Structure 1
Amino acid sequence: MKTKDKKRIKAILQEMIDNLKLDKDYKTKIMCFGGDEERTCSRQQDETPVCSCVCSCKRASKDTTEYDENGNLIYHENSLGFWEKIEYDKNNNKIYYENSNGFWKKYKYDENNNEIYYENSNGNIWEP
C-alpha cells in the first residue's frame, strides 16, 4: 500500500473516531460529504473505539461523448475531467487531436488520404 493511501486511511479513521455519534447500541453510521462514501464504525460500551471500518466509494461515473454527423468521435470527457477533442477533414481523416493535459497532434493528408505530415506538442515532426 502506498504511503499516501495509508495517510488517507489514517485520516479517515481519525475523522470517524472524532465524529462518532453513538446510538443505544453503541454503533453509528457516518455519511461522508456529498453522500458518496459510506463509513461505519462502532464503540464499545467503555467508549473504546472499534474501527474495523469499511469505506466504500459509490461515486457516480459520468462520461460525455460527442460524435459528428459522420459518426466520428469529436469529444470525450470522463468522470475525472480528462477530455479529448478530435477534428476531421471532409474525408473523415483525423487532422487534429488535443487533450486536457495540453498534448496535441496535427495531421495532413494527400489527395489519396495518405498521411503526409504529423506533428505533436512534444516537438515530434514526421514527413515522408
Structure 2
Amino acid sequence: MKLKGIKLEGTYKIVCYPTCFEIYDEKGNPIYYEENKGRWAKWERDEKGYVIYYENSDGYWERSKYDEKGNEIYYEDSRGFWAKWEYDKEGNRSYYKNNRGTIIDKRVKELTVKEIEELLGYKIKIKGK
C-alpha cells in the first residue's frame, strides 16, 4: 500500500481521532498525519530512525543528512535555507555554516612554530631551545 508516496510494509500503529489520523512505524515514530480537511504531513527516516525528509501539504519540505555517529551534518528546506555542520572527536559541533553568511568555526588548528611566526610577522623564542 502507498500513501502520499510512503510505501507501507510491515506493522504500523494507526491512531484515529474525530478530525485526523496518525500512522506510526514499529518503533513508535510518526510517519504520516492527515486531517479531515486534507492537510497532511509525512516523515521519512533512515535505518537509525533519524528524520531525513519531511514534507507537508503546504508544499514545505526539509531534508537532513547525518554522519555515522548520528550528528546532523547537512540541512536544507524548500525555502532555500541550508546549513552544514562538522563535529570534533567528542561529538561537539566545531564548525557551522549556512547560506545566509553565518560561519562559526571552533575547530582547533595546530600550527607549527614557522606558521605562528608567519602569522605574527616576527621570530619567536622558545624557552629551552
**Band of TM-score, shorter chain:** 0.5 to 0.7
Structure-2 separation of matches of 1:79 and 1:116: 35
| Aligned counterpart in structure 1 of residue 81 of structure 2, from 103, 112, 116 | 103
| Aligned counterpart in structure 2 of residue 60 of structure 1, from 3, 14, 38 | 38
Question: What are structure 1's unaligned runs of at least 5 residues?
Answer: 1-57
1:94 maps to 2:64? no
Q: Which amino acid aligns with 1:72?
A: Y
Give the structure with higher Rg (CA): 1
Q: Which residue does 1:69 correspond to in 2?
A: 47
Q: Which amino acid aligns with 1:93?
A: N
Given the two structures, how large is their TM-score scaled by the length of structure 1? 0.53
Question: What are structure 2's unaligned runs of at least 5 residues?
Answer: 1-35, 107-129
Greater share of helix: 1
Greater share of strand: 2
Given the two structures, how large is their TM-score scaled by the length of structure 2? 0.53
Q: Which residue does 1:116 correspond to in 2?
A: 94
Q: Which amino acid aligns with 1:62?
A: W
Identity %: 45
Number of residue-to-residue matches in the alignment: 71
